[in-house]
Structure 1
Amino acid sequence: MNRPLVATYRLQFREGTDFASATELAPYLKKLGVSHFYASPIFAASPGSTHGYDVVDYNRFEADLGGDEGYGKLSDAMNAEDIGIILDFVPNHMGVSPENAWWEDVLAWGRESRYASTFDIAWDAEKILVPVLGKPYGDALEDGDLKVVVDPERARFRFDAGGYQLPVEPRSLGHVFGFLEHSEKDRLIRRFAVATPVDGEELTERLREHLGDASFKTALAKAVEAIDADKQALHSFHEAQNWRLAWWRTAREKLTYRRFFEIADLIGVRQEIRHVFRDAHRTVIRLARERRLDGIRIDHVDGVADPKNYLLDLRQAFQANRRDPGIWVEKILTGEERLRTSWEIQGTTGYEFITALSGLYVDPDQEDRMTEAYADFLGEVEDLRGMIRRQKRAIFARNLAGELAYLTAEAVAVAGRGLSTRDLGPDTIQRSILEVAASLPVYRTYCGVDGVPTKDVEIIDDAVADAKSGREVEADEPIEFIGRLLKLDFVDGEDVAGALNFTRRFQQTTGAVMAKAVEDTVFYRYNRLIALNEVGGEPDHYGAKVSTFHAAMQIRVEDQPEGLLATSTHDTKRGEDARARLYTLSEDPERWEGIVAASAETLAPHRRQVEPLLVSPDPATEWGFYQSLLGVLPADLDLKNTEELKSIEQRLLAFVEKAVREAKRFTSWTAPAEGYEEALRGFVSAALDPSKGGFLEGFWQGVQPFVAAGALNSLSQLIVKLAAPGVPDIYQGTEFYDLSLVDPDNRRPIDFAARVKAMDEAVPMPEALQNWRDGRIKAKITAAGLKARIVEPELFTRGAYVPLEVKGAKADHVVAFARVGDGAAAIAVAPRMTLKLLADCGTIMPGEGCWDDTRVSLSDRLIGRDWRDVLDEGTLSLDDELPLRDLPGGLPFGFLLSS
């Protein structure tokens, strides 16, 4: 890489943020101390895209953002400040849109298209299914929703389905020209009937010439009008296409191409094919060559067929141009899963760091009490693991039924060739696939042409054993057969090929099963402590020993010393500071139970019975709502500010709608239950309306201990993040408290002027902490910590991670560690279990007589050094201990550097 890695700053483009506005931020980012600007997807995407992950052209910058010229100016501005650029790249899928020229060509020419192999399409199917109709096809045809239109600007015919337009097979235009009353009729029919893909431009040119003739244009308009009026002729024209229009509800079970998760508008791209890879990466390679790209973040790497070889191809393509930008992947590591070091990349985007942090701040000793409180409110005990297994089965069998059917067919074909497996029927095999997928503890395995990694053999064997123990499939043999497929345990070439095809698609699908079942369903159902319902998190991993955190950080040094340290991203379920506040609930479940009980009583008049056995909100949603409300309220909330309360109300209304639809319990995106949702909206609005029972005032007063402790948690996790192994990733605006809810709430406009002002204010750190509610303290710590990393970047990535022992009365309330390099060293000291700490101390400045004899023991390599206080610029000398009462400035945390 061209620049040392200090920190990245993630900015979300679109929705008002373009290249010009990002260019203006360059001086601010330099002052903040980041080394790399990290941009969300900026290539051309489907019209109206709010995120850019539905890319339609890998080689064209989004015009609405500023196009090539705008990106050039942005790159120049960042280079002038010595800030590198990391681009978010989406190799797994593209947007299904008329703006996608590759997709249009495939629709027009079918398997003869030069891009036929670009997309993951089942060409053995009769047609490419396009599920965009709002009603069954026959009804749409009869109701006049379908028609042929001519685009005179581009000289092309389109098939229009209620505003959604598709290209037509040029050789099928005889159906239209048959209605043409013009001297060119027969010539056009013959010319188009023998067309090939290489004739495309010529055909367009000829049609454009004809459209310049007024008489032809008039005759063609009448021909189109005639075929549009003739339902049978229009249907015949439709049937002559390479695609087939269908009701949108058919997508889940009949789709003929690989999707991104369950989104029919996103089609899988076959990056494993060399020419596809070259076409898709042409521009990012050029940008690296021109020194306008310093790193790349690969979105959903688990979606590509062979992540290891894809990343190897990417690295080699860069190196062939004498460049070596950093490569990070969006990869969710679950449980004890570790990043595959054979990928030879910088690391992940850091969701596992969020999981490790949560263990520091959640009190495991109180888990049973919180579980009891939650169960009492619900009136039942929920089985999280059972819920996950059921949802994985349901998502795979219903939402991803098309993928399941494909896999079943592949498995049946292999089974049919084996004497011991040919008696296995499609139903048995399908259920076996479901059970193995439901038992898989990770997002995917990585078996392929390079072989079967030992780790994956263990994962597959464990999943097979677990699936057999569930007895959902009567016999063991079919489940074991699925295990053999996944381990490529065959000798015959045809069987090996079938196993490879099955395994490739299975591995690309299980990530979607996991994400949709767990992240997008269970995480909105199981609301015991929603701070744990985070991407990559496991809600039943309820707190951990400090030693567990230390072990996780030492693994980071081994596996990905340059991996990103995320605390908020565009995909997190809630902002980092909302989570930090909600962690504190784990320390006092009884207090929280009392607040919830009082809240439920106050708001009881606004709860509605919508069905004989269903009230809205239901208990699980209501319990979760109170946590969401606590998480979103600003620390300096003004209850008299009606405009602010209205804004919070609107944000929560959008959130609860998403939450209950994702939960899929009483309503859903595809079948909204209006009565239930209307009652829920009324409940939320009542809670935020001061004139309706005074709930909010009492709630806000009752949660103040959690708010103060949450702020200290926020600053604590920031200290840890700034000193931990890896590269801090700062999500837009999180220099101040980030109390966002899930997307799109976390994409709201950022007041950068306020952040620039905070950078310029010469307020001492202790004074800023005393005024903790305004958030400036967080910005000051961020800037101070990044300046330390600028001085010693290698120390904070590749330096040794050394756990430090804490002794004394408040030892359980502290995490401390050192970073040690060849010459430099750093010490980080951060509080934890802050609700109890502040209850004992009565102040957010525990240094004022609260720490008693609590102290950090220093290891040999730290003794006898002179230390600089990173946070407030003082100096100090230490012997073999650091008493916490002596932390500089009386602060409850410390960050020291010795160069």
Structure 2
Amino acid sequence: MTPSPVATYRLQFREGTTFETAADLAPYLKKLGISHLYASPIFSASPGSTHGYDVTDYNAFEADLGGDAGFLAMSDALAKHDLGLILDFVPNHMGVSPKNKWWEDVLRWGADSRYADVFDISWVAEKILVPVLGKPYGEALETGDLHVVLHPERNWLRFDAAGYQLPLDPRTFALIFARLEHGERDRLLRRFAVATPAEIDELRERLAEHLEEAEFADALNAAIESINADRQFLHELHEAQAWRLAWWRTAREQLTYRRFFEIADLIGVRQESRRVFRESHQTVIRLARERRLDGIRIDHVDGVADPKAYLGDLRQAFQSVRRSPMIHIEKILTGDERLRTSWGVEGTTGYEFITALSGLFVDPAKEEAMDRIYSTFLGEEENLRAMIAKQKRAIFHRNLAGELAYLTSEAIAVAARGLSTRDLGADTIARSIVEVAVALPVYRTYVSVNDGVPTRDAAIIDETVEEAQRSRQVEADEPIQFIGRLLKLDFEAGEDVAGALNFTRRFQQTTGAVMAKAVEDTVFYRYNRLIALNEVGGEPDHYGTDVDAFHEAMRIRVEDQPLGLLATSTHDTKRGEDARARLYALSEAPERWDGLVQSFAQALSAYRKDIEPGLVSPDAPTEWGFYQSLLGVLPADFDPENAEQRDGIAQRLTAFMEKAVREAKRWTSWTSPAGPYEDALKAFVAAALDPEKSEGFLPTFWRDAQPFVVAGALNSLAQTAIKFAAPGIPDIYQGTEFYDFSLVDPDNRRAIDFADRQSAFEGGESAPDLLDHWRDGRVKAKITAEGLAARAAAPDLFTRGAYVALEVTGAKVDHVVAFARIAESGGPAAICIAPRLALTLLGDGATRPMADPATWGDTAVAIPEGLRGRGARDLFAESRRELGETLRLSDALSALPVSLMLVD
């Protein structure tokens, strides 16, 4: 029986975490109060994959995780403890790898392959481009990097490019057999020359049988040796294939298949094809039928051609086996964008919840001051929106040039048939496409064959076209208006409508990549004003909100996705939830932080190096970001004198800073690392963490940062309490039941010491007792367990129950958020009270994350009429009270800084 959804626990498989690991964790997860294990991708992936998103076989469990037997044992262990299973599934793309049999078959037979329609390949191109060479093709050929090899295990001929092997078209084996000095030469030549895909197994058997004869094997090896010494023949053999090897740098301009973002090793899958959908979902549907699958998380749903149609097909496939597992989608909602309820899913994976929390804990009244000190440190003012627009253009023109070329070709084909558009040139069309993508305020629109142009999307397209015209990056309005017509399918002739649909499908699959690469993977590492806001789905210029905005966001959740996930940390977040919570506190005291940064910069000035005229390392934005990253990563119980702890932080922070500056793409990048700049940055980070080099910088930093550390811990507890009372299903990322001060991946995918976490739960201390030892994180874990227990007692209350904002009055009204969850007709209810703007609330000198009860003064929460006179049990403080008209915070928060009450 599928358990009621209470909370999910995300586990990152691979890197030492296997099916056996998960099975062993089942008792702990049950004791914690989890209802569903939420597994990262577990299907077969490219060799050495650390994440599993480069899936190579949708219907085989990863052997390194335990294979079929291991999965079944894990599934049985979960069922034994009444735990459900949610799988992270990747429909949009697969890994380009010799391990991928579908891809291998396409490379082998080209358009004749039975899997030719699986991948989003442009068959108009003469060859499938394979950009894996470390040097230009001609140089690779000349220097002997290319060979024909006889694979020892497959007993089959393959083409080797400096260790990267590709299949040869069996029909071209005839070219190789022509050099064979053996009696079977002519027979094999004729047989392979007329080979077909249906005969592949028979051909393998024939060749294997011949290779059992030593004489034949020697003759074939001699032929291969002769071929490998003949550069011209190797080139001719290469040219006879359906694929073409190329220098890796060629991928951004000439790639002949749709990629995931800009990653050439991930190829787009055509889930819009019923056969492709059926074959790629066989196993997940079977698992649902066998009651081994209770939910599915769809990765990058914006990448598939028609998300609504895909999700409808998925729901229908589950219903065909009489099952209805939960469906959650990785979908980033921006601005006032809302989840499309017509998609029929339980909800998103919860990035918008992180954004709502950041608005609650960041002080909007101090934005101008933070702007001023940040600009002063940089010596210039930064315009975030202009920076995003610039990076969108750069990403589309450079990193995604191949996609832009494809879209331009599609658009020109339609334009050429119109008398008013036939004069539009390729350059004008390309720039217009870019400007429309730059102006698009969301990740994508959802125009489709089935639904045409939804009203919401028509409005977005119209607004986008107007904004693109205002930018004046394209001299005339007509070309941009033409792109708008394409996106709205505004044509009469069937051929033009078909062309517009082809263009729009690919444009919609591309704009998400443009947005993500420009914003999340570039600007978020450049614009460092307050890096806690630089989060997936976040908008760093939305600098805090009032409490009413948070309440409105929660009411929308009840309406749109009562079963949506409530995330605070994920495998993709830029930093751990408790690191963000600490950094939120900076927003309350920008002048204080500025004073500290000035002293930090002075202390480390000797390690700031001139690289070239006008460039130092670290440059000002990077240095400003470094101090925030250092503050965020240090554990609450950090000891500057502990060399082992210090060295561990240094390694993690050094790796993060390298990633940060390469992602920023300002002075260095992944594709063109700037050695002197990066070496100087590494030396700077090393000096900061080395007490001898920096003459006590780190102990001083830690001492001076304590007000933010204490306030950050209070923010952490508040955000945790809110998470377990908010509408939706709490999602706990592995290990974050305790403090999580991780940096971006791969730092946030480090192995978790679960034995240590389990032992921490063995004590029977209450949350108030644990608050005295708040730095070890056990108080957060206790609040997590109690919050989960509350949800288990009334799961529907916390998902579908009404969300009621509670009125707060008194001196500290700006420092509290309070709300109730109320079931229908006098059923169960809950009240959550949590502090906000913690740094100001605690004042100077605070040593623990809790305001003195007297601090609250006359501040009180008004209790709704229907709850007055009823008994309430405070789960965290382990106390009871009877509710009156109001509840004073000096009473409600006298034992703990947060409160979650279940009302009888």
Same fold (TM over 0.5): yes
Whether 1:302 and 2:302 are equivalent positions in the alignment is: yes
Unaligned runs of 5+ in 2: none
Question: How far did residue 840 of structure 1 move?
Answer: 6.5
Amino acid corresponding to residue 271 of structure 1 in structure 2: Q
Name the counterpart of 1:133. Answer: 133
Question: How far did residue 890 of structure 1 move?
Answer: 2.1
TM-score scaled by length of structure 1: 0.99
1:666-719 CA distances to partner (integer Å, 9 max, x unpaired)? 000000000000000000000001112211111111100000000000000001
Amino acid corresponding to residue 739 of structure 1 in structure 2: F
Amino acid corresponding to residue 696 of structure 2 in structure 1: G
Amino acid corresponding to residue 201 of structure 1 in structure 2: D
Name the counterpart of 1:615. Answer: 616
Name the counterpart of 1:751. Answer: 753
Name the SS for the 2:131 alignment partner.
strand
Give distance in 2, aligned partners of 1:349 and 1:613. Answer: 43
Amino acid corresponding to residue 532 of structure 2 in structure 1: A
Amino acid corresponding to residue 648 of structure 1 in structure 2: I
Name the SS for the 1:817 alignment partner.
strand
8 Å CA contact retained: 2:724, 2:788: yes
8 Å CA contact retained: 1:847, 1:892: no
Question: How far did residue 752 of structure 1 move?
Answer: 1.1
Question: How far did residue 755 of structure 1 move?
Answer: 1.6
1:807-826 CA distances to partner (integer Å, 9 max, x unpaired)? 11111100000000020100
8 Å CA contact retained: 1:129, 1:244: yes
Give distance in 2, aligned partners of 1:256 and 1:370. Answer: 46
Amino acid corresponding to residue 767 of structure 2 in structure 1: M
Question: How far did residue 724 of structure 1 move?
Answer: 0.1
Name the SS for the 1:86 alignment partner.
strand
Question: How far did residue 252 of structure 1 move?
Answer: 0.1
Amino acid corresponding to residue 156 of structure 1 in structure 2: W
Question: How far did residue 155 of structure 1 move?
Answer: 2.0
Name the counterpart of 1:39. Answer: 39
Whether 1:834 and 2:835 are equivalent positions in the alignment is: no
Name the SS for the 1:895 alignment partner.
strand
Name the counterpart of 1:675. Answer: 676
Give distance in 2, aligned partners of 1:397 and 1:704. Answer: 46
Question: How far did residue 845 of structure 1 move?
Answer: 2.9
Q: How does 1:365-404 map to 2 (within 5 A)?
A: 365-404=365-404
Question: How far did residue 841 of structure 1 move?
Answer: 8.5
Question: How far did residue 491 of structure 1 move?
Answer: 1.4
Larger CA deviation: 172-181 vs 841-850? 841-850
Question: How far did residue 754 of structure 1 move?
Answer: 2.1
Amino acid corresponding to residue 743 of structure 2 in structure 1: L
Name the counterpart of 1:867. Answer: 872
Name the SS for the 1:760 alignment partner.
coil
Give distance in 1, aligned partners of 2:340 and 2:711. Answer: 37
Q: How does 1:127-166 map to 2 (within 5 A)?
A: 127-166=127-166
Name the counterpart of 2:74. Answer: 74
Question: How far did residue 751 of structure 1 move?
Answer: 1.3
Question: How far did residue 888 of structure 1 move?
Answer: 5.8
Whether 1:856 and 2:861 are equivalent positions in the alignment is: yes
Name the SS for the 2:319 alignment partner.
helix
Give distance in 1, aligned partners of 2:878 and 2:369. Answer: 44
Name the counterpart of 1:472. Answer: 473
Whether 1:602 and 2:606 are equivalent positions in the alignment is: no
Once superposed, what is the RMSD of the aligned Cα atoms?
A: 0.9
Unaligned runs of 5+ in 1: none
Name the counterpart of 2:507. Answer: 506
Give distance in 2, aligned partners of 1:123 and 1:844. Answer: 62
8 Å CA contact retained: 1:95, 1:266: yes
Name the counterpart of 2:275. Answer: 275
1:539-583 CA distances to partner (integer Å, 9 max, x unpaired)? 000000100000000000000000000000000000000000000
Whether 1:824 and 2:828 are equivalent positions in the alignment is: yes
1:77-114 CA distances to partner (integer Å, 9 max, x unpaired)? 11011110000000000000000000000000000000
Name the SS for the 1:741 alignment partner.
coil
Name the counterpart of 1:878. Answer: 883
Name the counterpart of 2:557. Answer: 556
Give distance in 2, aligned partners of 1:764 and 1:25. Answer: 24
1:328-382 CA distances to partner (integer Å, 9 max, x unpaired)? 0000000000000000000000000000000011000000100110000000000
Give distance in 2, aligned partners of 1:557 and 1:847. Answer: 34
Name the counterpart of 1:408. Answer: 408
8 Å CA contact retained: 1:846, 1:891: no
Name the counterpart of 2:321. Answer: 321
Name the SS for the 2:692 alignment partner.
coil
Q: How does 1:198-277 map to 2 (within 5 A)?
A: 198-277=198-277
Give distance in 2, aligned partners of 1:841 and 1:130. Answer: 61
8 Å CA contact retained: 1:395, 1:517: yes
Whether 1:733 and 2:726 are equivalent positions in the alignment is: no
Larger CA deviation: 249-258 vs 448-457? 448-457
Give distance in 2, aligned partners of 1:644 and 1:786. Answer: 32
8 Å CA contact retained: 1:847, 1:886: no
Q: How does 1:459-538 map to 2 (within 5 A)?
A: 459-538=460-539
Amino acid corresponding to residue 902 of structure 2 in structure 1: L
8 Å CA contact retained: 1:56, 1:97: yes
Question: How far did residue 757 of structure 1 move?
Answer: 1.9
Give distance in 2, aligned partners of 1:759 and 1:788. Answer: 18
Name the counterpart of 2:287. Answer: 287
Name the counterpart of 1:539. Answer: 540
- Taking every aligned residue pair, what percent have the same amino acid on both sides? 70
Amino acid corresponding to residue 395 of structure 1 in structure 2: I
8 Å CA contact retained: 2:554, 2:803: yes
Give distance in 2, aligned partners of 1:588 and 1:873. Answer: 34
Name the counterpart of 2:574. Answer: 573
8 Å CA contact retained: 1:808, 1:855: yes
Give distance in 1, aligned partners of 2:867 and 2:453. Answer: 44
Give distance in 2, aligned partners of 1:898 and 1:195. Answer: 74
Question: How far did residue 844 of structure 1 move?
Answer: 3.0
1:57-87 CA distances to partner (integer Å, 9 max, x unpaired)? 0000000000000000100011011110000
8 Å CA contact retained: 1:358, 1:583: yes
Whether 1:429 and 2:422 are equivalent positions in the alignment is: no
Amino acid corresponding to residue 685 of structure 1 in structure 2: A
Name the counterpart of 2:2. Answer: 2
Name the counterpart of 1:717. Answer: 719
TM-score scaled by length of structure 2: 0.99
Name the counterpart of 2:442. Answer: 442
Name the counterpart of 2:702. Answer: 700
Question: How far did residue 898 of structure 1 move?
Answer: 1.5
Larger CA deviation: 869-878 vs 91-100? 869-878
8 Å CA contact retained: 1:770, 1:844: no
8 Å CA contact retained: 1:155, 1:205: no
Give distance in 2, aligned partners of 1:418 and 1:156. Answer: 52
Whether 1:106 and 2:114 are equivalent positions in the alignment is: no
8 Å CA contact retained: 2:130, 2:244: yes
Larger CA deviation: 151-160 vs 527-536? 151-160
Question: How far did residue 764 of structure 1 move?
Answer: 1.8
8 Å CA contact retained: 2:118, 2:269: yes
Give distance in 2, aligned partners of 1:888 and 1:498. Answer: 63
Give distance in 1, aligned partners of 2:852 and 2:32. Answer: 28
Name the SS for the 2:44 alignment partner.
strand
Name the SS for the 2:631 alignment partner.
helix
Give distance in 2, aligned partners of 1:847 and 1:786. Answer: 27
1:596-650 CA distances to partner (integer Å, 9 max, x unpaired)? 0000000000110011111000000000000000000011111111011000000
Question: How far did residue 889 of structure 1 move?
Answer: 5.1
Amino acid corresponding to residue 358 of structure 2 in structure 1: S
Name the counterpart of 1:656. Answer: 657
Larger CA deviation: 148-157 vs 334-343? 148-157
8 Å CA contact retained: 1:869, 1:888: no
8 Å CA contact retained: 1:687, 1:696: yes
Question: How far did residue 655 of structure 1 move?
Answer: 0.1
Name the counterpart of 2:765. Answer: 763
Name the counterpart of 2:419. Answer: 419
Name the counterpart of 1:583. Answer: 584
1:274-303 CA distances to partner (integer Å, 9 max, x unpaired)? 000000000000000001100000000000
1:131-154 CA distances to partner (integer Å, 9 max, x unpaired)? 000000000000000000011321
